[in-house]
């Protein structure tokens, strides 16, 4: 089991630690509901240092990214970030990721912790033109500082003008006295805020500086539990739940990051699938009758025929109702369609709704 550079601090704060993707990670501190609310209404800090970071460098770095990624990275300019995925050759997804353009010959890919080795091997296999690849995952820490007071908190610690930063852009600069910190206007909560990348050695300095700066907003540490409820309220996909090696980006509603302006892994088949139409789609639903949907519960029609499967579900802390995502036969995928979730052998009524569940 690996630790992040901040494990001792989490334990000291009374976090409940769980194994996740090979790391010992905080799942909650004070409780999911209060942590969730802190991010929606004020500001919270997540240690997500388990995430993987790869640096790709050289004349052919963009060419390699274009071959393995579904989105069109040629649209990136220096300092911009793009959400993308790595399609496999069988119609599924190797991983979803963020692509950072540092300059025209240097990129950073940010991948899911559970997929670091798989992604590294996958990309390496396509690296036939000598792109220099570095896996900096284990020496890199990542904090997500999210919520309406995130900018006011972090602005005290840096000269980078945070309020001017566009969504999905980043800058490198001095942060809390530490040089060469990458501040990115991204996140996985829908609450706004920043993600901050830096070297492990500086983790405690930066963590403490952020908590001092955020004290006036009652800043809180946030665990993976609330990270999941926050992302689910936005309808953001979680790899391993909502997307995996067998789900296509078209089915998953990731057509917007699947650009057929260029060729990439399995692009011909995905284009054919887009044109022919998919048989099932990832949709959001909310429960009408009482019950909480969970991963792998069946979705059925009124007669009890199986029409889909739940991929994520929870009681939404912000909405105070049960919500979920799942793959469903396209005949039932339209907004407001009545569907039923099979919970402990009982059909519980739900209806298909649009993302995001939480509209702030």
| Interacting residue ranges for other proteins, rule: CB under 8 A | 16, 27-28, 31-33, 225, 228-229, 290-292, 294, 314-315, 317, 344
Nearer to other proteins, 288 or 292 (CB): 292
Nearer to other proteins, 18 or 271 (CB): 18
In the complex, least distance from residue 292 CB atom to other proteins, rounded to whole angstroms: 5
ω into 73 cis (within 30 of 0): no
In the complex, least distance from residue 14 CB atom to other proteins, rounded to whole angstroms: 11
Which residues does 334 contact at the CB level (< 8 Å), separation at least 6? 352
> What phi, psi does 258 have (nearest 5°)?
-120, 95
Nearer to other proteins, 136 or 319 (CB): 319
Strand order in the sheet with 93-103: 81-87, 93-103, 106-111, 52-57, 132-135
Nearer to other proteins, 74 or 346 (CB): 346
Q: Give the residue from 3, 5, 4, 2 showing the smallest Cα distance to 204.
A: 5
| 10 alpha-carbon distance from chain centroid | 22
Nearer to other proteins, 102 or 292 (CB): 292
What is the β-pairing status of strands 220-221 and 44-47?
parallel
In the complex, least distance from residue 322 CB atom to other proteins, rounded to whole angstroms: 8
Query: How many C-beta atoms surround the C-beta of residue 262 within 10 A?
Result: 14
3-state class of 42 per DSSP? Answer: coil
Strand order in the sheet with 170-175: 170-175, 178-184, 193-199, 140-146, 44-47, 220-221
Nearer to other proteins, 85 or 323 (CB): 323
In the complex, least distance from residue 289 CB atom to other proteins, rounded to whole angstroms: 12
Nearer to other proteins, 227 or 280 (CB): 227
In the complex, least distance from residue 36 CB atom to other proteins, rounded to whole angstroms: 8
In the complex, least distance from residue 118 CB atom to other proteins, rounded to whole angstroms: 25
Which residues does 306 contact at the CB level (< 8 Å), separation at least 6? 298, 299, 300
In the complex, least distance from residue 180 CB atom to other proteins, rounded to whole angstroms: 36
């Amino acid at each position: 089991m690996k630790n992040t550079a901040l494990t001792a601090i989490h334990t000291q704060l009374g976090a409940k630690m769980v194994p996740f993707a090979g790391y010992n990670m905080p799942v909650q501190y004070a409780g999911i509901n209060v942590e969730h609310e802190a991010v929606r209404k004020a500001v919270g800090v997540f240690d997500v240092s388990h995430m993987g970071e790869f640096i790709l460098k050289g004349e052919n770095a963009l060419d390699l990214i274009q071959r393995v990624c579904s989105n069109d990275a040629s649209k990136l300019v220096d300092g911009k970030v793009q959400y993308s995925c790595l399609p496999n050759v069988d119609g599924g997804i190797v991983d979803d990721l963020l692509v950072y353009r540092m300059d025209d010959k240097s990129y950073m890919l940010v991948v899911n912790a559970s997929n670091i080795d798989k992604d590294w091997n996958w990309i390496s296999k396509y690296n036939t033109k000598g792109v220099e690849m570095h896996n900096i995952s284990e020496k890199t820490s990542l904090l997500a500082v999210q919520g309406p007071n995130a900018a006011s908190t972090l602005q005290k610690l840096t000269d980078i003008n945070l309020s001017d930063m566009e969504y999905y852009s980043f800058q490198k600069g001095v942060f809390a006295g530490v040089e060469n910190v990458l501040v990115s206007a991204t996140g996985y909560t829908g609450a706004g805020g920043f993600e901050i990348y830096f070297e492990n050695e500086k983790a405690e300095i930066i963590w403490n500086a952020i908590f001092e700066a955020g004290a006036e907003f009652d800043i809180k540490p946030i665990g993976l539990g609330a990270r999941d409820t926050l992302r689910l309220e936005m309808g953001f996909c979680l790899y391993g739940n909502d997307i995996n090696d067998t789900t296509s980006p078209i089915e998953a509603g990731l057509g917007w990051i699947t650009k057929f302006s260029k060729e990439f892994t399995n692009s011909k088949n995905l284009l054919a699938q887009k044109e022919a139409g998919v048989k099932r789609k990832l949709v959001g639903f909310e429960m009408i009758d009482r019950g909480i949907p969970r991963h792998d519960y069946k979705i059925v029609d009124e007669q009890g025929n199986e029409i889909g499967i739940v991929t994520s579900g929870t009681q939404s802390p912000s909405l105070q109702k049960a919500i979920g995502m799942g793959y469903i036969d396209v005949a039932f995928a339209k907004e407001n369609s009545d569907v039923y979730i099979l919970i402990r052998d009982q059909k519980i009524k739900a209806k298909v709704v649009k993302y995001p569940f939480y509209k702030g």
